[in-house]
Amino acid sequence: MDRIVVTGGGALSGQIPIAGAKNACLTLMPATLLSDEPLTLTNAPRLSDIRTMTTLLQSLGAEVTALNGGRVLALSSHGLNNHTADYDIVRKMRASILVLGPMLARDGRAIVSLPGGCAIGARPVDLHLKALEAMGADLELRDGYVHAEAKGGLKGAVVDFPVVSVGATENALMAATLAKGTTVLKNAAREPEIVDLAHCLRRMGAQIEGEGTSTITIQGVDRLNGATHPVVTDRIELGTYMLAPAIAGGEVELLGGRMELVAAFAEKLDAAGVSVEQTAAGLKVTRKNGRVSAVDVRTEPFPGFPTDLQAQMMALLCTATGLSVLEETIFENRFMHAPELMRMGAKIDVHGGTATVTGVERLKGAPVMATDLRASVSLILAGLAAEGETVVNRVYHLDRGYERVEEKLGNVGAKIERVREHD
């Protein structure tokens, strides 16, 4: 398996282009299942998770063609001939559950494997299922698969989510576009990826109001048409690379970055003493001399501080002056990076969902390993500020969510390389 080797030291300078959002693309792709006309997604990221979703959709009989080196995805579901999402694919990527709502809405039936737990927590899908049941679906759990049926189609309903869930909101939103009557999603997720999905569905002819707020109202239509849609900028890739000059020092402009995508995160950087400025081309992040200051962070659904930037922020705070408290409220097991950062000399105490970080003057390079993609990239960021060499093993996770990390960071002056290995 490939490894990434980072040699710390040295300020960064230059520009990093930010790709389309993985988590938006992973919900936009299944939207093809709602229509028999073509859906074209531009600004798609080139990631292994996108290839996994491609394989899943193709296994259902959809056509997915990557054009322009993978930047454009041409999708068509006119020849859908299988309604079973197999365990072998679903177990690789939890976002596979997002085919359930659209398939059920269009054809009245779907069989989808349950994804199971993952490295960051139990992550049930009960809210997805309850929303579809509220819309009249009959669900049965057999042999690890959800067998879903909606004879005569789905019906509009009021769905009040007890917990804010990005995926459940996406599944319900897609399903509701073809349900009979009006659906109201209350306590809906407000993430930019949900807004992007609503924009795409509207281009396909759906009637949706309120995306970006916690109440989304959908008026069902008989059919959806084809569309072309650009994938929104990846706010997590953006935030991750904003941390590179924050940790290593220097000034880097993140091309395509917009403040409203990362406002809560940028506020914390500002409090830590890192400057973030909107430019015509993106966001410019600058850290000159001295260490950053400690700040407290609590993860929350959007517009709060994103859980997907918690690991990377922790890497920064490991070198701050003073004591920072990080509280993870979204996932129960998302501090797996802490022991690895500690191997690099960080001082971290984890108690349940809270990590207390006492900043040190300098981290030290070490061989490290991570079990999810945000944890992996946090170790690369830490490596930028560490003395000596950091070797990040199991890069497989990284490739799920970051395209060519070594190239993007190398272009702004980081000493980073990928060592290819064939197991």
Task: Classify the C-alpha dihedral 278-284-285-288 as positive or negative.
Answer: negative
Between residues 165 and 393, which has the closer beta carbon with respect to ligand EPZ? 165
Which two tokens mark 73?
A: 């995805």
Q: Is 25 a catalytic residue?
A: no
Between residues 10 and 124, which has the closer beta carbon with respect to ligand EPZ? 124
Contact map string, positions 23 to 42, toward ligand EPZ, x by CB under 6 A: x--x----------------
Q: What minimum distance in Å lies between the beta carbon of 378 and ligand EPZ?
A: 11
Q: Is 319 in the site for ligand EPZ (CB under 6 A)?
A: no
Contact map string, positions 129 to 168, toward ligand EPZ, x by CB under 6 A: ----------------------------------x-xxxx
Q: Which stretch binds ligand EPZ (CB under 6 A): 119-127, 139-147, 251-259, 266-274?
A: 119-127
User: Which residue from 60, 274, 295, 373 is in contact with ligand EPZ, where contact means CB under 6 A?
Assistant: 373
Rounded-to-integer distance, Cα 244 and Cα 239, Å: 9
Rounded-to-integer distance, Cα 321 and Cα 300, Å: 25
CA dihedral 81, 83, 88, 89 (to 10 degrees): 80
Q: Is 330 in the site for ligand EPZ (CB under 6 A)?
A: yes
Rounded-to-integer distance, Cα 218 and Cα 221, Å: 9
Which two tokens mark 25?
A: 């693309």
First-to-final CA distance of the chain: 6
The full DSSP string for 88-145 is HHHTT-GGGGGGHHHHHHHHSEEEEE----BTTB----HHHHHHHHHTT-EEEEETTE
25, 118, 200, 318: which one is catalytic?
Answer: 118
User: Which residue from 128, 229, 287, 418 is in contact with ligand EPZ, where contact means CB under 6 A?
Assistant: 128
Q: Which stretch binds ligand EPZ (CB under 6 A): 55-63, 125-133, 134-142, 254-262?
A: 125-133
Q: Which stretch binds ligand EPZ (CB under 6 A): 32-40, 118-126, 253-261, 281-289?
A: 118-126
Q: Is 261 in the site for ligand EPZ (CB under 6 A)?
A: no
AA letter at 153: G
Q: What minimum distance in Å lies between the beta carbon of 404 and ligand EPZ?
A: 17
Token look-up 């679903």 returns: 90
Between residues 101 and 401, which has the closer beta carbon with respect to ligand EPZ? 401
Between residues 105 and 320, which has the closer beta carbon with respect to ligand EPZ? 105
> For ligand EPZ, which residue has the nearest CB?
167
Rounded-to-integer distance, Cα 33 and Cα 295, Å: 44
| Geometric angle at alpha carbon 24, from 19 and 27, rounded to 5° | 140
List binders of ligand EPZ among 171-210 (CB under 6 A): none
Q: What minimum distance in Å lies between the beta carbon of 40 and ligand EPZ?
A: 21
Under 8 Å between Cβ of 340 and 381: no
- Residue 354 pairs in a beta bridge with 327, 351
Q: What minimum distance in Å lies between the beta carbon of 325 and ligand EPZ?
A: 20
Under 8 Å between Cβ of 243 and 254: no
Q: Is 331 in the site for ligand EPZ (CB under 6 A)?
A: yes
Active site (catalytic) residues: 118
Binding site residues, ligand EPZ, CB under 6 A: 23, 26, 94-95, 121, 123-128, 163, 165-168, 307-308, 330-331, 373-374, 401
